[in-house]
């Protein structure tokens, strides 16, 4: 299928209802995340909870890493007569609103177990919502539109995180943390309204038994050519980018930048290029396709990672810091859009939820395991060699990409 379109057709796709739905679903997906991370940590710290307990609360995030375990249920069953995806979305979002409200009525000091239980419910329903939203986006969009859908999903997701992580902390000084959680529960209503107004995607007949929903996604995937190489590519494609990102804050501090400067340039200014990167990457993939997008954005990711070495020679210079961060975040946003679109293109629409959940869980492996030795590598090899190595790690993934050219260009 050709992905070439004129600019009028591109505008029609970009401003279509289905792309607005992708954006709003991204917002609904991103809103719960920091409610059990940054905002909860700030609430507990301000309440005088000890650091050990705050650290243990990280375990409530476990559902995000094992969400593939219950994804087959979401493929197999249709709980309401409004369609499989919309039914699960509505139930999950209503449960999320209730769970977030439960957190508002718990106390970090007086009822830490109740707070932890409510937070665990939030992460469980949030992970479940992510499964269904990923499946919905894959099934509602044409294959050549997956890149743009991912590119608009990411800004919605990031905007919600900014609202919770930044706006939530500011609002907490005015109405308290309990009040903030009630406000965030109400804002989840945006997701509910989106679900009620969104059309149910038309897909192939879903699995007829739970056994089919559990076994068939694996069996179907591993019958494909290059099945194992595709999994290896998923691990490698953003490996260098993730390794470098894990050590950037210590690097900035060692270069003499203050916490205020890092916060202003990296955490505030740097968000804008990330948002634009996803949208630009998505639009470009409508013209050039997923395969060419993965190549182009993968190369840009490698170059932008190597760009950190510039700061070793410029010294303390906020303009150069902003330029390096802006380029890195722009390319990362473009690469993420292509990567999400690639994983969407891999899924069979009979069991999208299960296969997508498996692939996104695998996507998180480098973030956990490859990040572990980065401090040692930077310390022993030096920053210049470290960032150069992170840039060159992009090459094996791009070499593997050549193997997929035929079927990706046919999508």
pLDDT digits (tens, 9 = 90+) for 60-69: 888 888 898 9
Confidence of residue 261 (pLDDT cuts 50, 70, 90): confident
- How far is residue 19 from each of residues 24, 150, 342, 380, measured CA to CA in Å? 9, 9, 18, 47
Confidence of residue 193 (pLDDT cuts 50, 70, 90): very high
pTM recorded for the entire structure: 0.82
What total of structural domains would you count in the chain? Answer: 2
Q: Residues 167, 281: one domain? A: no
Q: What is the mean pLDDT of residues 13-20?
A: 84
Instruction: Output the pLDDT for position 383.
Output: 92
> Closest Cα to residue 132, out of 98, 94, 158, 99?
94
Predicted confidence (pLDDT) per residue in 166-182, tens digit: 788 888 889 999 999 99
Q: Residues 357, 378: one domain? A: yes
Instruction: Output the pLDDT for position 1.
Output: 40
Q: Residues 195, 233: one domain? A: no
Q: Residues 352, 381: one domain? A: yes
Q: Residues 319, 184: one domain? A: no
Q: Residues 248, 299: one domain? A: yes
Q: Residues 102, 118: one domain? A: yes
Question: What is the number of other CB atoms lying within 10 angstroms of the CB of residue 330?
Answer: 23
| Burial of 9 per CB tally in 10 Å (0-12, 13-18, 19+) | exposed
Q: 283's torsion region: left (phi>0), alpha (psi -120 to 50) or beta?
A: alpha
Q: Residues 3, 51: one domain? A: yes
Instruction: Output the pLDDT for position 3.
Output: 47
Question: Which of 203, 224, 239 is where one domain is finished?
Answer: 203
Q: Residues 326, 278: one domain? A: yes
Q: What is the mean pLDDT of residues 371-387?
A: 86
> CB-side exposure of 137: number of CA atoms within 13 Å?
33
Question: Which of 152, 180, 203 is where one domain is finished?
Answer: 203
Minimum mean pLDDT range among 171-185, 280-294, 302-316? 280-294
> Closest Cα to residue 119, out of 30, 25, 34?
34
pLDDT at 5 over 80: no
Residues spanned by the domain of 261:
208-411
Separation between Cα atoms, residue 88 and residue 74, nearest integer Å: 7
Q: What is the CATH classification number for the domain harbouring 298?
A: 1.20.1250.20
Q: Residues 296, 198: one domain? A: no
Q: Residues 262, 398: one domain? A: yes
- How far is residue 79 from each of residues 83, 89, 311, 352, measured CA to CA in Å? 8, 10, 55, 17
Q: Residues 159, 220: one domain? A: no
pLDDT at 115 over 50: yes
Taking CA 163 as the corner, what is the angle to CA 259 and CA 176, rounded to the nearest 5 degrees? Answer: 85
Residue with tokens 């939030």: 122
């Amino acid at each position: 299928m050709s992905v070439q379109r004129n600019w009028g057709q591109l505008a029609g796709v970009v401003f279509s209802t289905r792309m607005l739905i992708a954006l709003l679903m991204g917002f609904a997906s991103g809103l719960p995340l920091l409610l059990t991370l940054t905002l909860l940590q700030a609430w507990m710290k301000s309440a005088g909870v000890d650091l050990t307990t705050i650290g243990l609360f990280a375990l409530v995030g476990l559902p995000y890493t094992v969400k593939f375990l219950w994804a087959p249920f979401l493929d197999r069953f249709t709980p309401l007569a409004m369609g499989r995806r919309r039914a699960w979305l509505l139930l999950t979002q209503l449960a999320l609103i209730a769970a977030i409200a439960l957190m508002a009525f718990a106390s970090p000091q007086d009822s830490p177990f109740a707070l932890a239980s409510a937070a665990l419910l939030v992460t469980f329903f949030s992970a479940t919502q992510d499964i269904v939203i990923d499946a919905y986006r894959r099934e509602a969009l044409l294959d050549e539109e997956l890149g743009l859908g991912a590119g608009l999903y990411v800004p919605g997701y990031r905007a919600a995180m900014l609202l919770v992580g930044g706006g939530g902390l500011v609002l907490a000084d005015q109405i308290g943390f309990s009040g903030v959680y009630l406000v965030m529960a109400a804002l989840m209503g945006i997701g509910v309204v989106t679900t009620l107004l969104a059309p149910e995607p038309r897909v192939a007949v879903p699995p007829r038994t739970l056994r089919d929903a559990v076994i068939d996604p694996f069996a179907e995937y591993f019958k494909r050519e290059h099945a194992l190489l595709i999994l290896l590519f998923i691990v490698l494609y953003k490996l260098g980018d993730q390794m470098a990102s894990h050590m950037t804050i210590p690097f900035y501090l060692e270069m003499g930048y203050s916490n205020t400067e890092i916060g202003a340039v990296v955490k505030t200014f740097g968000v804008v290029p990330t948002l634009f990167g996803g949208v630009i990457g998505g639009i470009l993939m409508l013209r050039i396709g997923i395969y060419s997008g993965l190549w182009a954005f993968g190369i840009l990711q490698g170059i932008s990672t190597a760009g950190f070495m510039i700061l070793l020679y410029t010294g303390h210079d906020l303009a150069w810091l902003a330029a390096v961060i802006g380029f890195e975040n722009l390319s990362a946003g473009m690469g993420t859009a292509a990567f999400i679109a690639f994983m969407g293109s891999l899924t069979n629409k009979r069991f999208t939820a299960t296969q997508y959940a498996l692939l996104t869980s695998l996507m998180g492996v480098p973030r956990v395991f490859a990040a572990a030795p980065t401090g040692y590598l930077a310390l022993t090899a030096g920053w210049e060699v470290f960032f150069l190595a992170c840039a060159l790690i992009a090459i094996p993934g791009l070499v593997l990409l050549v193997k997929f050219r035929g079927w990706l260009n046919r999508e």
